[in-house]
Copies of this chain bind each other. A is one copy, B any other.
């Protein structure tokens, strides 16, 4: 029985999982939880995921949550092609870059936080945009300074092929573009993102190519 991925076309954490599963060649069914209509806050979904968030993976009777945990599980379950480097120090470097996105950029410009921030001063859509741009731009510029110090011979952030860095980067860059974030100080990230998106595993995972895209 294939995996079932509960997600939403624009969820950047679901987008990470689609990329990783595609890179590994793992088949999965998709079920859409409509974040725009608030399906994630309904009782049926909260019974599955008490945080009211997507994505979630079902593997038979087992339910997995939280994309960083699921990505490690995917890496352990289908080791090839490897998405993490083969030595511990390099793994820490790549996981650190991933974590800048997963822990410091993405969570503070998540939809529920954007809405809450804009509600504080009644600034509506413009307030959401300003808040998203602020944390996305400063976060990506810090990440750019981190990755720029690392020697590379391909456009990818680490090694010759896209890996865990791009699994996190590409969805975050999609969000950045969506909020019209200034990326002019992030040339290394822009290049890695473009090179990755040209590959089939990433193209197939893109939000606009999902069945629930509207």
Contact = CB atoms under 8 A, between A and B. Distances in A.
Copies of this chain in its oligomeric complex: 2
Interface stretch (A24-32, A89-97, A173-181, A196-204): A89-97
A76 interface: yes
Contacts of A96: 64-66, 69-70
A70 to B, nearest CB: 7
Interface stretch (A2-10, A45-53, A152-160, A205-213): A45-53
A63 B72 CA distance: 23
Interface SS, A side: helix
Contacts of A134: 116
A95 B66 contact: yes
Contacts of A107: 103-104, 107-108
Q: How large is the interface on A (under 10, 10 to 19, 20 to 34, 35 or more residues)?
A: 35 or more
A44 interface: no
B51 A64 contact: no
21 contacts: A50-B141, A50-B143, A50-B145, A51-B104, A51-B146, A64-B93, A64-B96, A66-B100, A68-B99, A69-B92, A69-B93, A69-B99, A70-B96, A73-B88, A73-B91, A76-B91, A102-B102, A103-B106, A104-B107, A107-B108, A120-B127
